[in-house]
Amino acid sequence: MALKEPFMVKCVIGNTDLELSADSGESFLIKDIQIYNPASNYITCTIDKVTVGYFRVKGTLGSHLPFLNARSEHSHDWKTSTTAAGDQTSFVGLNNAGGTEIASKMIGGLSADTLYRRVNQLAKSSMQGMKTILGLLAEKGIFKGYPVATGQTFKITGAKQSGAIQLVVYEIHEEGDITPDMPNGTEAKEYFFMNYGNCGGNVNADGDTLYNTPKSPAQFPDFPFGKVVDPKKEITIHGICASDFAPKENDGTNYCYTKYLKFIRGRKTLFDEDMNGLLLYAPFSTAYGNMDMVGEGQSIIGNYSDVDMKMPLFFPTPLVYGPGEELNIYLTTVKGGNGQNIAIDEHEIALIETVKILEE
């Protein structure tokens, strides 16, 4: 066995799917993927006709495979004094972070003793030191790469459009070194995947709502989203990506926001003797700056995306489930007045899982 090239990249810009084929005399190990400006919110990774990966690459909760930002921009709140006067000739129109013009509040003078939230544009923060989710999971030994054997083709779909960028980092090995039965391969007995799921519709409730709808493709197990573990499979949950959330529609009277994420195995609530669950608290009955509040509350869980950069929660002892076993996950929310909808893409979670195919 010999490693021929330890670092290679394949990049496609524009309206073409990225494809990488291992020709005679070589085999590949895909180490990382980065996506910019994709057509869809999710990409699918295949080797030949076998689905090996599925990732969120844009949307409200952010991309798990971003190009990492090196420049930081931010916004500030403006608080006027109790003696603020001003006049309309002294100021030009300004937008808050959510894009709402607040100049109309300044015509004839700034209002006294008023807090103007997030006056300047809130852009993405610096991501120095971060990796993609694949880079992080490789560092932790969970993701072992996508093996592309001689004669096989790795392909990404869902990203291509004008202005899109797709990039993979990979190693070149000699023919026969990388085989389809390696972890994550087309004939693997063990594979990793990001298992995305939601509650099946908008959440607007004071209490618990069950996560019962898988988002990941049918080629992957549905467990724990409404299904038990399939026969002849063992599933290990290493951790979870999630964001505390309050929608931009929260107006102080009608509101809804997340509070806990509850794991129930059998009749036991995991991780919390008080049976509340894991804190996912976004207590914003009024949203700031006409924008969704993503990952701005208090939580021990992060999404590790380009929107919510907090680390995922990794369980010190991974959760292991065998055939027929179940796990129920609930989102606890707080509702005031008529509430507001927390949409499917706004309360989505992703479980970091490894699947083992059990022997007969």
User: What is the predicted pLDDT for the residue at 146?
Assistant: 99
Query: How many residues are recorded in the chain?
Result: 360
pTM: 0.89
Find the Cα–Cα–Cα–Cα dihedral 306, 36, 72, 298, rounded to 10°: -10
Averaged confidence pLDDT in the chain: 91
**Do 78 and 49 form a contact (C-beta atoms < 8 A)?**
no
Percent helix, strand and coil across the chain, each to the nearest 5: 5, 40, 55
pLDDT value for 108? 55
Beta-bridge partner residues of 171: 29
Whether the ω angle into residue 183 lies within 30 degrees of 0, i.e. cis, is no
Q: Are 182 and 147 in contact (CB under 8 A)?
A: yes
As given in the structure block, the two tokens for residue 358 are 């059990």
Query: 319 - beta bridge partners?
Result: 237
Residues 153-182: tens digit of each pLDDT: 999 999 999 999 999 999 999 999 999 999
For the residues 50-76, what does the mean pLDDT come to? 87
DSSP SS3 for 8: strand
Give the C-alpha separation, 283 to 286, whole Å: 9
Strands 213-214 and 78-79: unpaired
Could you tell me if 149 and 187 are in contact, meaning their C-beta atoms sit under 8 angstroms apart? no
Strand, helix or coil at 344?
helix
| CB crowding 126-163: b at 16 or more within 10 Å, else e | ebeebebbbbbbbeeebbbbbbbbbebebbbbbbbeee
Q: Are the C-beta atoms of residues 173 and 64 closer than 8 Å to each other?
A: no
Residue 280: phi and psi, rounded to 5, are -140, 60
User: Is pLDDT at 353 greater than 70 in this prediction?
Assistant: yes
Q: Model confidence over 243-257: pLDDT tens digits?
A: 999 999 999 999 999
Query: Is the pLDDT score of 88 beyond 60?
Result: no
Give burial (CB, 10 Å; 0-12/13-18/19+) of 68: middle
% of the chain with per-residue pLDDT over 70: 84
Domain-wise residue ranges, the chain:
1-69+128-188, 73-123, 189-360
- The four Cα atoms 265, 271, 276, 277 give a dihedral, to 10 degrees, of -80
For Cα atoms 148, 154, 159, give the angle at the middle one, nearest 5 degrees. 150
DSSP-derived secondary structure letter, 80: -
> Average pLDDT of 113-141?
78
Q: Which residues contact 168 (CB under 8 A, 6 or more apart)?
A: 9, 10, 18, 20, 30, 31, 32, 33, 34, 154, 156
Higher pLDDT, 96 or 233: 233
State residue 75's pLDDT score. Answer: 66
Q: What is the CATH number of domain 1-69+128-188?
A: 2.60.120
User: Percent of the chain beyond pLDDT 90?
Assistant: 80
Secondary structure class of 347 (helix, strand, coil): helix
Q: How far apart are CA 110 and CA 62, in angstroms?
A: 35
Distance (Å, rounded) from C-alpha 30 to C-alpha 65?
Answer: 14
Q: What is the pLDDT of residues 292-342, one digit of tens each?
A: 999 999 999 999 999 999 999 999 999 999 999 999 999 999 999 999 999
| Residues 236, 244: Cα–Cα separation, whole Å | 24
